[in-house]
Amino acid sequence: MMKYTESHEWVREEGDVATMGITDFAQRELGDVVYVELPELGKSLVAGKEAAVLESTKAAADVYAPLTGEVIAINSRLKEEAELINRSPEGEGWIFKLRISRPEELQALMDQATYLSRTH
């Protein structure tokens, strides 16, 4: 089930693991992404705090951790193919996976209908 943050990240929760990335709306606003700074594997992230950086042709944008947890996978393809963020923001352009330590935080995130109503 997809959930969304106020800062335009999406998160897909499967058991205690969550995959995250930025939304289609966010990639359109950002423009062409040319460089991605990924978090380190094993790093502990706190919901709402900086987790990664996307550099577009225009500017740098922080990506925030949608949930608290430990980074258990990063999308290494983004190192060579940052454009996946633009081409497939909610698919091949995922950024990292977390082992969720505070599942109750999911309740605070928006569902798709709410998120889309905010960005359209």
Partner 1 sequence: MEQRPPSITALFERHLALGAKMAPFAGYMMPIQYRSVLEEHHAVRSGAGLFDVSHMGCIDVEGKEAAEFLEALSVNAILKKAPGRATYTLFAHPEGGTIDDLIVYRLSRERFYLIVNASRKEIDLRHLAEYAGSYHVTITARFDLSILALQGPKAPEFFPAFQGKAPMEVWEEGELRLSTTGYTGEKGGEIVGPKESIQALWDELLQKGVQPIGLGARDTLRLEKGFALYGHELSESILPTESVSKWAVKTEGREFLGKEAMLRPKRYAFGVKLKEGIAREGALVTKEGEPIGVVTSGGFSPTLKEPIALLLVDRKLSINDHVEIAIRKRTSLAYVVPLPFF
Whichever of 7 and 101 has its CB closer to partner 1, that residue is 7
Shortest Å, Cβ 9 to partner 1: 19
Backbone Cα Rg of the chain = 13
DSSP tag of 120 = -
Which segment (4-12, 16-24, 56-64, 101-109) binds partner 1 by CB under 8 A? 56-64
Give SS3 for 89: coil
Instruction: Give the x/- contact pattern for partner 1 in 69-108, rule: CB under 8 A.
Output: --------------x--x----------------------
Contact 95, 79 (CB under 8 A): no
Question: In this chain, which stretch among 1-9, 17-25, 26-34, 39-47 interacts with partner 1, using CB under 8 A?
Answer: 26-34
At 6, which amino acid appears? E
Helix/strand/coil for 93: coil
Site for partner 1 contains 55 (CB under 8 A): yes
What is the side-by-side order of every strand in the sheet holding 33-37? 33-37, 50-56, 60-64
Q: Which of 53, 106, 110, 116 binds partner 1 (CB under 8 A)?
A: 53
Which of these, 6, 34, 4, 33, lies nearest to 20 by C-alpha position?
A: 4
Residues that bind partner 1 (CB under 8 A): 31-32, 34-35, 37, 53, 55, 57-60, 83, 86
